[in-house]
Structure 1
Amino acid sequence: MSGLLVKEYFTLRRYVKQYVLLFIFFGALSIYMESMTYFQCMVTMSMCMLIFTGMTYDTLSGWDKFVLTMPVSRKDIVGSKYLCCIIYAIVAITASTLFSLVLGYIHPMGDDDLILLAATAAALLCVIFLIYSILIPLIYKLGVEKTRIVMIAVIMIPIFGLMAIYEYIPESVFTFAEQHVGLVAAASAAFCVLVYIISYFVSLNIFSKKEY
């Protein structure tokens, strides 16, 4: 498993500089717009595309056929993709939240802003895992080229949908969430974990039936 994770790192490390420049650009726009949620959402969307990029290279290089010749189970191959997604999600949420806190020093935040920051980070974390849960099985089933057609919709609809509606969410929702933080967090985490686990088994089932 560790070897598969190292392979993912070497596959995607060429994009580090590009992503740093992209995040700087998003950060500048976020400061100009005085919006914490903009940077959080854009970073989340960008990080969600990493798994697709990595699996595209796998297809072009014939990696799936090659890796099956090694002493690695299909369970580990699929599991490494899902573990990478967890790493991407942690990086995305950590980076976007830290930047938002820095932005808070430039444009001082009140208690409501801090609540919004935490709520947005939690919501985006759920969105990331839901996107991955849909995207990975599609890639295994349809292949990267066909999935490319629906990828933008899978990624952008939840992200921009969240951006569009959060200002219209009734204050009572935030009040309830604030008063029952533990309950909301536990329910959201349980739902995301359940969907993610189901997605893993769906992907494993699809990949196990493939012959190369």
Structure 2
Amino acid sequence: MKGLLLNQYFSVEKSFWMYLFGSILLVGALFMVGNTRIERVATFVPIVFMVSPALEVLKHESSSGWNKFALTLPLKRRQIVQSHYLFFVSSVLIGLVITMLLFSLVELMKGNVLTSSSVNSIMNAIGIGLIMGAVAYPLTYMLGTEKSDTVLITAVFSSIGLLLLGGFIFGILLETIPLTFLQQGNPDVLFSLGYLTMGIVIYLVSYFWAIKIYKQKEY
């Protein structure tokens, strides 16, 4: 498994560092604007940027022929899928670490940045990232890397669409269902936790679905 993960990293190494430094520069630029709403957008940047190289892995493996070669190795197809999903989660975590470090640094410099709203936005960003991966991997296994651009657009719109739909449904629940914990708690925190949980569940379901697709795939 370690070898598979390292192979994926080295296949997108340049993109990985480009997106890493790019996210740092963009977040810095957004903070310089000094607008609260724009600062909340900054919470999404590192995570979304860092999952981009992970989604490029399948395209690199296909163009280099690695995806076919890997099947000749003493590996189960389940392990190959597992390595893709682990690499993606690692990318999300790296994006999260970058976000927390940048926000902590700005908090020390100017204060009033690492607020409950920004924490909620970070949870939403993680949820968006996980749902993007949950949609992208099975569809790429199914449709092939030739459709990678279409798959990526579908993944982005799916994750944002679920965020907006979840917010709409949650708003209706707050107004129509007299649940004490919803009324007394912080609605934004509850929604972000719910969306993050949904992202984790969808990602896990996607993992098992992707294994089923990959086992049936013929090269």
Query: Structure 2 length normalisation: TM-score?
Result: 0.79
**Residue matched to 1:130:** 131
Are the equivalent residues in 1 in contact too, given 2:128–2:159 (CA < 8 A)?
yes
**Residue matched to 2:84:** 81
> Could you say what the CA RMSD is over the residues aligned between the two structures, in angstroms?
3.2
Are the equivalent residues in 2 in contact too, given 1:135–1:151 (CA < 8 A)?
yes
Are the equivalent residues in 2 in contact too, given 1:126–1:188 (CA < 8 A)?
yes
Are the equivalent residues in 2 in contact too, given 1:12–1:54 (CA < 8 A)?
yes
Runs of 4+ in 1 over 3 A off after TM superposition: 156-163, 172-175, 177-181, 187-190
C-alpha deviation, 1:184, in angstroms: 6.8
C-alpha deviation, 1:95, in angstroms: 0.6
**Residue matched to 2:179:** none
What is the CA deviation profile of residues 134-164 of structure 1, one whole-angstrom value per residue up to 9, with x for unaligned ones? 111111011122131241352267459969x
Point out where structure 1 has 5 or more consecutive residues left out of the alignment: none
Greater RCO (Cα-Cα under 8 Å, separation 6 or more): 1
Aligned pair count? 204
Point out where structure 2 has 5 or more consecutive residues left out of the alignment: 175-181
Note the 1:50-69 alignment, pairs <5 A.
50-69=53-72
C-alpha deviation, 1:115, in angstroms: 0.3
Name the CA distance, whole Å, in 2 between partners of 1:130 and 1:177. 24
**Residue matched to 2:32:** 32
**Residue matched to 1:22:** 22
Are the equivalent residues in 1 in contact too, given 2:127–2:196 (CA < 8 A)?
yes
**Residue matched to 2:12:** 12
Task: In structure 2, give the amino acid aligned to 1:32.
Answer: M
**Residue matched to 2:186:** 177
**Residue matched to 1:102:** 105
- Inter-CA distance 61–41: structure 2 relative to 1 (3 Å threshold): same
Task: In structure 1, give the amino acid aligned to 2:87.
Answer: C
Are the equivalent residues in 2 in contact too, given 1:45–1:159 (CA < 8 A)?
no
Question: In the alignment, which of 183, 198, 209 is matched to residue 202 of structure 1?
Answer: 209
C-alpha deviation, 1:199, in angstroms: 0.3
Q: Secondary structure at the match of 1:49?
A: helix
Query: Structure 1 length normalisation: TM-score?
Result: 0.81
What is the CA deviation profile of residues 94-145 of structure 1, one whole-angstrom value per residue up to 9, with x for unaligned ones? 11122122222333207xx610121111111111111111111111011122
Question: In the alignment, which of 187, 193, 198 is matched to residue 191 of structure 1?
Answer: 198
Name the CA distance, whole Å, in 2 between partners of 1:179 and 1:32. 26
Name the CA distance, whole Å, in 2 between partners of 1:157 and 1:133. 10
- Inter-CA distance 125–36: structure 2 relative to 1 (3 Å threshold): same
- Inter-CA distance 194–121: structure 2 relative to 1 (3 Å threshold): same
C-alpha deviation, 1:83, in angstroms: 0.7
C-alpha deviation, 1:210, in angstroms: 1.2
Are the equivalent residues in 2 in contact too, given 1:41–1:159 (CA < 8 A)?
no
**Residue matched to 1:151:** 152
Name the CA distance, whole Å, in 2 between partners of 1:188 and 1:23. 23
